[in-house]
Structures are given as structure tokens and as C-alpha cells.
């Protein structure tokens, strides 16, 4: 996929990122002098805090990942949005007020205040580190994809830029991503997305998405092939290189040449022989070089895709709907036939060919689950995988340290409640927008099949370069903010919790700062490395893993601490250990990781990708069992409701 860069977009991007960074620095300095971020935060208005929650939460993952997944897999991508939002109900109803009453807002603080236990210090630090690193991966991958169309640089450069900039910021100055910056980013993201959706509805649905007349869509061809008397396949104007009897034919494709250019076509039998439909393909040669549709990447032969085959309004086929309301948009979409893209791998000698082929699909099939997660005629394992993912999304939010800490910044329980409601309203509204953004990308010819993460910004690009630049810059600035926060948290876990508290290393003040900076740099390097190797994976999927790890390691401990009087220090430590190791272990042997190791997914020891349905119950069981066994020795926790 090649993108052309616009100086305007680059200029706006640099301006926005510098502006947001400058604002963060300015406010961070100001709040430091005003007795610290947390105390100063005690006066923040609940509405500002609520939108800031949304700014924190709608990171690269929500915006890029969910839209990208909806654009290629329809409703299944939106399932993530539904799960993420449902997670807020756990935070509102079970965690927010009891935690506020406890007067502690981070996981480690709450545990520390109840038990002064070495084992807990160690476990809490390791868990913070693991959750932060897992949450770093999707952020880094998101940063990598953002710079490709904007600045014309490869993925790894984007990852390195973010990694290096953030590590320098953290290691030299230290940066607190403040509430007002998150408020500003959250509000702008909501406004810009609303504008794109309004523009999308004004454009309506059409069968030839020319991006408002600015860019012609590639018209995919179909050819007619006949079988000659000798059984050979004949296509007018083309020579058949690999026919139905070849390896290509077995997979349902044929390879043709015309004027020396090779093309691959999808076979479909019809009355007079075969109908051939154009495909897109990436060839990876033995030496690692890749060609796109048989040409170098720069030749631009690998088209952006996404179109509707047929729109039916009141039983009649139309070319476009014109301006249309939000409900009518979904309803017309449901009655249309949309071309989705399937993917197949073929080994041709030493070349590995990835073929993307057209798959016309009824809109009503797209607006229901099942295109990504196999639920129709699914095996028990596939159903388990799906349920497990929905459980992880539901339980993950309330276990994320950077979300819980925001309850610190409001003055009262009532304000904590109200800001959560503002957050739910803002995030819920945004997730409704994502459905339109995703479906819009699916039908407006903007999808890059090799990496769907950029679908939403590229949809914005089809409405003008300014919207595109603003939205990409906001997403990028969000990545910077989130990554800084996560690196500070992980460096704190190593330098403060592990080295200082747990190991009891008597370091001077200078030594502690040095330890923190070195930890930040090491974690920065790890984050860069992980961001590069996970390229091309949907960021929302990666966030799903982070949620599973957070929910398994932290949620049972948080909930039981608040609601079960018999919880003991040993029980909490055991729960974190079991939850963390089970979740991590299952992820490392999952089919999707097997692909990352360069192996075949079907050879993985476990058949599912989502560990939550095993690791969360395991963590609960460990907590209850160990707590019951250590009743006399342990310190019982008071019920938070009576505290």
C-alpha cells in the first residue's frame, strides 16, 4: 500500500503533536508546583473528568482497532465496543465508590494499606509491569501504522519515533499526562468523529465509491473462461499459467499472464465454463522481498478496497442512496450486498503467496456476529473462545490501573459517580460512531488489506486532508500520552516497588531517580521491539489480550478485597500469581502467537486465543482457597461497605 503525502497534513500533524505535547509539559509543570497532580486534581469538575476518562480510554485501540475490525469483519469488530462499554458498568457499580471510600485508588495502594506484605508488594509490582507491557504493545503498533500514510515512513520508524520520544521525555523530564490534556483530546476526538459520520451520512451509500469525486475507485474485473475440447482452460486475451489442475486451482484460483504481467483470479463455475474474479495478492519470495500484485510496493498496484456490489431500496436496485439518516443507513446497508475480502495462503515453490479475494456478502450477514469469531456451527472450543473474549472485555476495564486512578481527581463520591456517567455517555456515543466509521470504511474504498488499523483515518482522508490530519494527530498524541503513562508506571514498579521496597536496596535519592530512568529506557526498548514484531495485528485484538491479563491478575483481588471479609494477604498474592501466570501462559501457547513464532496456528498446543474464561476463575479460586487456608495467620480485611 502506498500513500501520497500532503505537506498540509504533515504540517498540521507536527503542529498538533507539538501543541499537545507542549500543553502537557506546561500543565505538568504547573500542577507540580501546585502541590502535585493528585491533590490539585481534587478540584476537577466532574464533567471535565468524565470527558478525560473518555480521552484516556479511547486510545489508539478503540479508535483505530475497532474501526479497522468493523471495516473488514463487520459486527464482530463492534462486539469489542459493546464489551468495552459494558466493562464500565463493573467500574461504576462495584469498584468506583467502594474504592473512593477506601481512599485508595491504585491497586498497589489499596493492597498496601490493608496488608503490609512482602509477597503482595512483589506480586503487585510484577502484575503492574505485565499489564503495562501488554497495554504498550497495541499502542506501539498503533503508532507505527499512523505514520505510514501521514509521513510516508515504514512501520518500524513510527514505532521507534514514539519509543525514543517518550523514553527521552520520561527519562529526562518525567511527564504527567494531565486531566486537562485528556479532556482536550477526548473532546476533539468526539467532535471530529461526529463530523466524519455526518459527512458519511450526507454522502450515503453508493456502488462506486469515488470518495466524493476526488479519487476513482479501481473497477474490479471479471473474465469469462471456457474449457476447450482438450480440457484446457481458455481466457480471451490471457495465457493460463496455472489452471484448475494446479496448486492454485485446488485452492480455487488460476494464474494468468497478459503482456508479461501475472495476475491471479478467483474461479467460479458457471453455465459456460468459469467466471474469473480479480484478486489482490502479496508474494513473499525466499529472500524476504515482497511484491504487491506482482509489482514493487511503490508502483501502487495494490489498491485500496471496499465497495458495495448492489444496493436495494424498496425492492429496486439503485446506484446510490444519496443523503440518508443514521437508522436508514444501517437499514439500507442491511439490504445491500457488500464485497468483503477473504484471504488464502498458497506456497508456490519457495514463494509464499497471500491472496485476497472478493467475497460478496449480504449486508444483514455483516450486521450480525460471525465473520471473525466463528459462532455458526462452531465447535465447543470456538464458542469457548468467543465467550472468553467477551468475559475479558467485561472484566478488564475495572482492573486497568490508569482508569482507576482517575477517581482520585474528583472531590466526592457523587462527583466520582457523575464523571463515570459522563464517561459512559461519551464513550457510548463514540462507540456508536465507530460502527458508522467502520461500515463507512468498508464501503468507501479506503481499506488497506494488509493492515486494517488505518481504516478510520483513511475514511476521514476521503473527506479531505484536514480532517485526516487532525484525527491522525489526535490519535498519535494519544499514543504518546498513553505510552508515557505506561512507561512511568512500569519504571515505578521496578524502581520503587521492586528495588526499593521489596529488595530493600538502600538507594540514595539520586540512585532511585537513576534506577527509574534506566528502567524507563529498558522498558522503552522492549516496547519498541514488541511494537515492531506485532505489526499488522489488529490493535483491538491486542488490547483484548491486555484486558485478559489485567482482568485475571487484578480484578479478583480488587473485588474480593472490597467485598469479602475473609480475604488474606496470602490469598491476594496467590490470586495475582495464578491469574497472571495462567493468562500469560495461555496467550504464549495460543494459535495467534504460534503464527508470530512462524509456525502454523493449527499446531498450537491450545486451540483458543482468549484465556480469560480459564484464568479469571482460576484466580478467584486461588484467592478463596489460600485465604481460607491462611485464616489464622493472615490479617482479615474489613468489609469495605462498613469501613
Partner 1 sequence: MGHGPAVKLGRDDAANYKTRLGVWMFILYTLVYAGFVVINAVNPGLMQKVILGQTLAVVYGFGLIVFAFVLAIIYNQLCNAAEKRMNQ
- Name residues contacting partner 1, limited to 422-481 (CB under 8 A): 424-425, 428, 431-432, 435
Per CB under 8 A, the list member of 1, 14, 89, 153 interacting with partner 1 is 89
Q: Is 269 exposed, middle or buried (0-12, 13-18, 19+ CB in 10 A)?
A: exposed
Assess 413 for contact with partner 1 (CB under 8 A).
Answer: yes
| 146, 187, 601 from 183: Cα distances, Å | 22, 6, 42
Assess 38 for contact with partner 1 (CB under 8 A).
Answer: yes
Per CB under 8 A, the list member of 60, 67, 73, 104 interacting with partner 1 is 104
Q: How far is CA 540 from the centre of its chain?
A: 2
SS (H, E, C) 375-392: CCCCCHHHHHHHHHHHHH
Q: Considering beta carbons, is residue 91 or 626 the nearer one to partner 1?
A: 91
The partner residues of 343 in beta bridges, in order of sequence, read: 356
Q: Considering beta carbons, is residue 326 or 511 the nearer one to partner 1?
A: 326
Assess 325 for contact with partner 1 (CB under 8 A).
Answer: no
Assess 97 for contact with partner 1 (CB under 8 A).
Answer: yes
CB of 492 to partner 1, least distance (A): 6
Q: Which stretch binds partner 1 (CB under 8 A): 32-40, 142-150, 161-169, 614-622?
A: 32-40
Q: Considering beta carbons, is residue 109 or 275 the nearer one to partner 1?
A: 109
Buried b (16+ CB within 10 A) or exposed e, 341-350: beebebeeee
Per CB under 8 A, the list member of 45, 344, 383, 517 interacting with partner 1 is 383
CB 223, CB 265: distance < 8 Å? yes
Assess 106 for contact with partner 1 (CB under 8 A).
Answer: yes
Assess 121 for contact with partner 1 (CB under 8 A).
Answer: no
Contacts with partner 1 by CB under 8 A: the residue count is 64
Task: Extract the C-alpha cell encoding 543.
Answer: 488490547
Q: Considering beta carbons, is residue 217 or 407 the nearer one to partner 1?
A: 407
Assess 194 for contact with partner 1 (CB under 8 A).
Answer: no
Q: Considering beta carbons, is residue 355 or 640 the nearer one to partner 1?
A: 640
Q: Considering beta carbons, is residue 43 or 172 the nearer one to partner 1?
A: 43
| 95, 204, 379, 387, 611 from 376: Cα distances, Å | 36, 31, 9, 14, 21
Assess 390 for contact with partner 1 (CB under 8 A).
Answer: yes
CB of 343 to partner 1, least distance (A): 22
Backbone angles phi, psi at 362, to 5 degrees: -65, 140
Q: How far is CA 547 from the centre of its chain?
A: 11
Task: Extract the C-alpha cell encoding 628.
Answer: 481460607
Assess 42 for contact with partner 1 (CB under 8 A).
Answer: yes
CB of 329 to partner 1, least distance (A): 11
Assess 515 for contact with partner 1 (CB under 8 A).
Answer: no
Distance CA 325, CA 313 (A): 14
CA angle at 475 for the pair 549 and 13, rounded to the nearest 5°: 150
Assess 629 for contact with partner 1 (CB under 8 A).
Answer: no
Distance CA 160, CA 166 (A): 10
Give me the 483-512 binding string for partner 1, x by CB under 8 A, dash otherwise: ---------x---x----------------
Distance CA 115, CA 113 (A): 6
Distance CA 322, CA 319 (A): 9
Per CB under 8 A, the list member of 13, 16, 53, 75 interacting with partner 1 is 75
Question: Sign (positive/negative) of CA torsion 591, 595, 597, 600?
Answer: positive
Per CB under 8 A, the list member of 344, 417, 517, 566 interacting with partner 1 is 417
User: Which three-class secondary structure state does DSSP give residue 360?
Assistant: strand
Question: Which residues, in sequence order, are CB contacts of 195 under 8 Å at separation 6+?
Answer: 467
Strands (E), 143-193: none
- What is the gyration radius of the CA atoms in the chain, in angstroms? 26
Per CB under 8 A, the list member of 151, 387, 465, 629 interacting with partner 1 is 387
In the complex, the residues that contact partner 1 under the rule CB under 8 A are 36, 38-39, 41-42, 75, 78-79, 82, 85-86, 88-90, 92-94, 97-98, 100-101, 103-104, 106, 109, 327, 330-331, 334, 364-365, 367-370, 375-376, 378, 383, 386-387, 390, 394, 408-409, 411-414, 417-418, 420-421, 424-425, 428, 431-432, 435, 492, 496, 640-642
Amino acid at each position: 500500500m502506498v500513500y501520497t503525502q500532503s505537506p498540509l497534513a504533515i504540517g498540521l500533524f507536527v503542529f498538533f503533536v507539538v501543541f499537545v505535547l507542549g500543553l502537557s509539559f506546561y500543565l505538568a509543570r504547573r500542577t507540580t508546583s501546585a502541590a502535585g497532580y493528585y491533590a490539585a486534581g481534587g478540584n476537577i469538575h466532574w464533567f471535565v473528568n468524565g470527558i478525560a476518562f473518555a480521552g484516556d480510554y479511547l486510545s489508539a485501540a478503540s479508535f483505530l482497532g475497532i474501526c479497522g475490525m468493523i471495516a473488514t469483519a463487520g459486527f464482530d469488530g463492534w462486539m469489542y465496543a459493546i464489551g468495552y462499554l459494558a466493562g464500565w458498568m463493573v467500574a461504576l457499580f462495584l469498584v468506583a465508590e467502594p474504592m473512593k471510600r477506601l481512599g485508595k485508588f491504585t491497586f498497589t495502594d489499596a493492597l498496601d494499606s490493608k496488608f503490609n506484605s512482602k509477597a503482595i508488594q512483589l506480586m503487585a509490582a510484577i502484575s503492574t509491569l505485565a499489564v503495562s507491557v501488554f497495554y504498550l504493545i497495541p499502542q506501539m503498533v498503533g503508532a507505527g501504522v499512523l505514520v505510514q500514510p501521514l509521513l510516508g515512513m515504514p512501520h518500524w520508524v513510527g514505532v521507534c519515533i514514539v519509543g525514543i520520544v517518550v523514553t527521552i521525555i520520561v527519562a529526562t523530564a518525567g511527564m504527567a499526562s494531565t486531566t486537562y490534556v485528556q479532556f482536550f483530546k477526548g473532546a476533539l476526538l468526539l467532535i471530529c468523529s461526529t463530523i466524519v459520520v455526518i459527512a458519511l451520512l450526507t454522502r450515503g451509500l453508493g456502488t462506486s465509491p469515488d470518495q466524493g469525486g476526488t479519487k476513482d475507485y479501481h473497477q474490479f474485473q471479471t473474465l469469462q473462461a471456457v474449457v476447450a475440447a482438450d480440457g484446457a482452460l481458455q481466457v480471451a486475451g490471457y495465457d493460463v499459467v496455472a489452471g484448475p489442475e494446479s496448486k492454485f486451482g485446488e485452492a480455487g484460483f488460476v494464474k494468468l499472464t497478459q503482456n508479461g504481467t501475472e495476475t491471479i483470479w478467483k474461479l467460479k463455475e458457471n453455465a459456460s465454463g468459469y467466471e474469473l474474479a480479480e484478486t489482490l495478492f502479496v508474494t513473499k519470495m525466499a529472500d524476504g522481498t515482497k511484491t504487491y500484485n506482482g509489482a514493487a510496493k511503490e508502483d501502487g498496484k495494490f489498491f485500496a478496497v471496499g465497495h458495495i456490489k448492489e444496493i436495494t431500496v424498496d425492492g429496486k436496485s439503485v446506484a446510490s442512496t444519496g443523503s440518508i439518516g443514521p437508522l436508514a443507513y444501517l437499514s439500507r446497508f442491511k439490504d445491500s450486498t457488500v464485497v468483503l475480502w477473504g484471504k488464502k495462503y498458497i506456497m508456490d515453490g519457495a514463494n509464499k503467496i497471500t491472496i485476497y479475494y472478493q467475497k460478496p456478502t449480504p449486508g444483514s450477514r455483516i450486521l450480525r456476529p460471525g465473520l471473525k469469531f466463528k459462532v455458526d456451527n462452531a465447535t465447543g472450543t470456538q464458542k469457548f473462545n468467543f465467550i472468553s473474549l467477551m468475559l475479558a472485555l467485561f472484566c478488564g476495564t475495572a482492573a486497568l490501573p490508569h482508569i482507576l486512578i482517575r477517581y482520585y481527581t474528583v472531590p466526592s463520591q457523587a462527583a466520582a459517580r457523575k464523571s463515570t456517567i459522563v464517561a459512559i455517555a461519551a464513550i457510548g456515543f463514540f462507540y456508536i460512531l465507530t460502527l458508522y466509521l467502520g461500515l463507512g470504511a468498508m464501503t468507501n474504498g479506503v481499506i488497506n488489506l494488509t493492515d486494517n488499523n488505518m481504516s478510520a483515518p483513511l475514511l476521514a482522508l476521503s473527506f479531505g486532508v484536514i480532517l485526516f490530519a487532525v484525527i491522525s494527530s489526535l490519535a498519535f498524541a494519544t499514543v504518546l500520552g498513553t505510552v508515557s503513562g505506561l512507561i512511568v508506571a512500569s519504571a515505578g514498579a521496578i524502581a520503587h516497588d521492586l528495588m526499593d521496597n521489596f529488595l530493600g536496596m538502600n538507594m540514595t535519592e539520586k540512585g532511585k531517580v537513576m534506577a527509574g530512568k534506566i528502567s524507563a529506557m529498558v522498558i522503552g526498548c522492549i516496547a519498541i521491539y514488541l511494537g515492531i514484531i506485532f505489526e499488522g495485528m489488529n490493535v483491538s485484538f491486542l488490547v483484548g489480550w491486555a484486558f485478559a491479563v489485567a482482568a485475571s491478575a487484578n480484578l479478583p483481588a480488587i473485588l474480593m478485597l472490597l467485598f469479602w471479609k475473609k480475604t488474606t494477604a496470602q490469598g491476594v498474592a496467590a490470586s495475582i500469581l495464578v491469574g497472571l501466570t495462567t493468562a500469560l501462559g495461555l496467550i504464549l501457547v495460543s494459535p495467534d502467537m504460534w503464527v508470530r513464532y512462524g509456525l502454523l496456528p493449527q499446531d498450537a498446543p491450545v486451540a483458543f486465543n482468549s484465556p480469560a474464561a480459564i484464568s479469571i476463575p482460576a484466580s478467584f479460586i486461588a484467592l478463596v482457597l489460600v485465604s481460607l487456608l491462611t485464616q489464622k495467620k493472615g490479617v482479615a480485611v474489613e468489609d469495605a461497605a462498613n469501613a
